[in-house]
Amino acid sequence: MAYILKHWRGEFSLAISFWVNVFLINMGIRIFEVWLTEASPIENPVVASQVTIAYVFIALAVVYPWQIIGLWRSANKHVEETKKGFWPGAVKVLVVLGLLGTFGNMNVSWPVYKDLYQIGFGKDEYGDYKVELTEHGNLIHLKGGLGFGISKEVKQLVSKNPNVKGIILDSLGGRIYEGRELSKIILINGLDTYTLKGCYSACGTAFISGNKRFLAKGANLAFHQYKSGAQSLDPYVDMPAEQKKDLRIYQRRGISQEFIDRIFKANKDDLWYPTIKEMLNAGVVHEVVNPSNLKPIEYGAINKADLEEAFKDISGFQAIKKYEPKTYQNIISNMEAQMEKGASMIEIQQKVGAYIQGASKNT
């Protein structure tokens, strides 16, 4: 503390103030900065952003003012003691130039610091997720974006519920880091993976890590190139390298190379939806299942009028209603029974379509 105060008051010689307290300390700060951006072991983007913001604040709001004010005072003291002004004047010119350069860099770097602060301390745009156990307690249902912290919640839920055998992933994607962390949890615990509504982008890394992988009828997977989510950070994030990390997960899961080569072909603002046949052939999906097998749907009060409205566009349905009213009533009753059992609408539509198709063949 005494050393800090001594420099602040300008009591060190001009040489020590400049070469030790400014030049050498700045070298140390620069080395730490390179380590932080290039070699830091911190993987969590939230923690990395918090550390970076803390570093910037300490460096610019604490250390830098201490350095230049103490150096300026030391220069004044040098003039008073030696009556010579060349070196003190040169040092002051450097201080002014450095100050102008710092303000210029701050103006350029402000968007980066703003985005880092948002990641580290702000509300996550993908934070609208929900993680819960299904009714029987053997599956976890993940819904919403892959926001920061979702993998931590899943990990806690798995550790508290040893009977969990799989996880339903219904997500449009989100943070690459969270998709990768979910992948680790799924692999370590040997979980099966499912999707009822769809699993897109970074969610695919988690899905592909399942011991067995199931796709519900009506759901799909979708892939595209990764993006940082903050334009100012694009120059600092090696997205091709991030994509290669996750492609290695697909390779280790035995996915065909032909499929892997297409995963990141779609533009970052577009999506590639592989067909069910492509996913089955490539080993991405092991089986297509009925949604109700995973999680029966609770419809509440079943309204006959709503049922008729939902199926009015099926070819032949209105004809049956008009010409075979008894058959029509049987279909409606069957639909109601299926809904009471928790069948999904797509399952009901398929069964109605199959019934109508079979009836038409028999006439």
DSSP codes of every residue in 128-190:
--EEEE-TTSSEEEEES-B-TTHHHHHHHHHHH-TT--EEEEEB--B-HHHHHHHHHHHHHHT
Tell whether the model's pLDDT for residue 305 goes beyond 80: no
Helices (H) and strands (E) in the chain, counts: 17, 8
Mean pLDDT (whole number) for 260-277 = 95
Percentage of the chain beyond pLDDT 70 is: 86
Q: By C-alpha distance, which of 262, 266, 268 is closest to 282?
A: 262
Out of 147-151, 249-253, 273-277, 359-363, least confident range: 359-363
Mean pLDDT (whole number) for 30-56 = 93
- Residue 292 binned pLDDT confidence (cut-offs 50, 70, 90): confident
pLDDT of residue 329: 75
Mean pLDDT (whole number) for 43-48 = 95
pLDDT one-digit tens code per residue, 81-133: 998 989 999 999 999 999 999 999 999 999 999 999 999 999 999 999 999 99
Torsion of CA 240, 126, 47, 38, to 10 degrees: 10
Decide: helix, strand or coil at residue 221. strand
Q: Domain coordinates of the chain in residue numbers? A: 2-121, 130-294, 304-361
Amino acid identity, position 198:
G
pLDDT of residue 116: 95
The average confidence (pLDDT) of the chain is 89
Joined together, the tokens standing for residue 161 give 């519920």
Just give the CATH number of 130-294. 3.90.226.10
DSSP-derived letter for residue 243 is H
Tell whether the model's pLDDT for residue 4 goes beyond 80: yes
pLDDT of residue 234: 86
Tell whether the model's pLDDT for residue 345 goes beyond 90: no
* Cβ 270 vs Cβ 224: under 8 Å: yes
Mean pLDDT (whole number) for 284-295 = 88
335-348 burial, b at 16+ Cβ within 10 Å, e below that, comes to: bbebbeeebbbebb
pLDDT of residue 236: 85
Q: CA dist 200 to 124, 174, 314, Å?
A: 18, 9, 30
Joined together, the tokens standing for residue 69 give 């004010």
* Cβ 133 vs Cβ 139: under 8 Å: yes
pLDDT one-digit tens code per residue, 222-237: 999 998 878 898 888 8
